[in-house]
Chains A and B, each alone.
Chain A
C-alpha cells in the first residue's frame, strides 16, 4: 500500500496569501494517477486537480498542482475566503486507492 503523507496538518493564513500544500508518497506514484480534492464542512469532496497538474472543470487558475515521483504540491496563489477548507491528495496504483490525511487551511 502506498501511504500519502500531507503536510502541514494545518496551515493558518490570511486571505490574499499564498498556500503551499505538500503530499509525499511512500513509494513512487504515477503523476497521471495523482489528484487533489477540496472539502468544506458538511460537504462532499470536490475534485480540484487531476494528473498532478491539470485543473478540473470550473476550478480557478489560482489553484495549481505540480510534482512527480514521491513529492507533489498544491499551490493556491492568493487565498480567497471560499478557499479555507481541508485538502486531500489521492493516488491510484496496483488497483488500490489511498488518500492523504489532509491539510486544513484555516483563516489566521
Chain B
C-alpha cells in the first residue's frame, strides 16, 4: 500500500523560500504511470493545485504560482520536493502531496493517494 509523507519546516519567514519533501513508501516512485503533485489549502478555504512532476523531471505548474515554484524528484530516495520562493502570509496553508494516477492508457486523471498534509506558516 503506497503511502506519502510530507516533511519540512512548519514556520518560514516572509520573503524566504518554503521547502517541503514528500517521501513515498510502499512502492517505487518510478513504477507505474504516475505523476506526483503538490496541493495546498489555506485554513478554512478550498484546495489549490500547485504543480506536478514526473520521474523524468517533467513539470507543470499552476500559472498563478509558476514564477515562484520549483519541483524536483530524487528517485534514489523515493522522494519529490517543492520549493516556493518569496513567500508571504498568503502562502500560509496546509500543504499536501499526492499521487496522480492516469489509469490505463493515460485515459483518466485523478489523485488517488494523498499525504496527511503539513502546516506551513509564514510569519516573522
Contact = CB atoms under 8 A, between A and B. Distances in A.
A and B co-occur in one complex: yes
Interface of A: 1, 32-33, 35, 37, 43-47, 50-51, 54, 56, 88, 90, 92, 95-102
Give the most central of A88, A99, A102: most B CB within 10 Å.
Answer: A99
Contacts of A32: 107-109
Nearest to B101: A50
A104 to B, nearest CB: 11
Contacts of B109: 32-33, 35, 50, 92, 97
Q: How large is the interface on B (under 10, 10 to 19, 20 to 34, 35 or more residues)?
A: 20 to 34
Interface in B68-124: 96, 101, 103, 107-112, 114-117
Interface of B: 37, 46-49, 52, 60, 62-63, 96, 101, 103, 107-112, 114-117
A44 B99 CA distance: 13
12 contacts: A33-B108, A33-B109, A44-B114, A44-B116, A45-B47, A50-B101, A51-B110, A88-B46, A90-B47, A96-B62, A99-B49, A102-B47
- Which 4 residue pairs spanning A and B have beta carbons closest together? A50-B110, A92-B109, A97-B49, A44-B114
A92 B39 CA distance: 14
A30 B32 CA distance: 23
Given A44-B114, A44-B117, A88-B46, A95 B108 contact: no
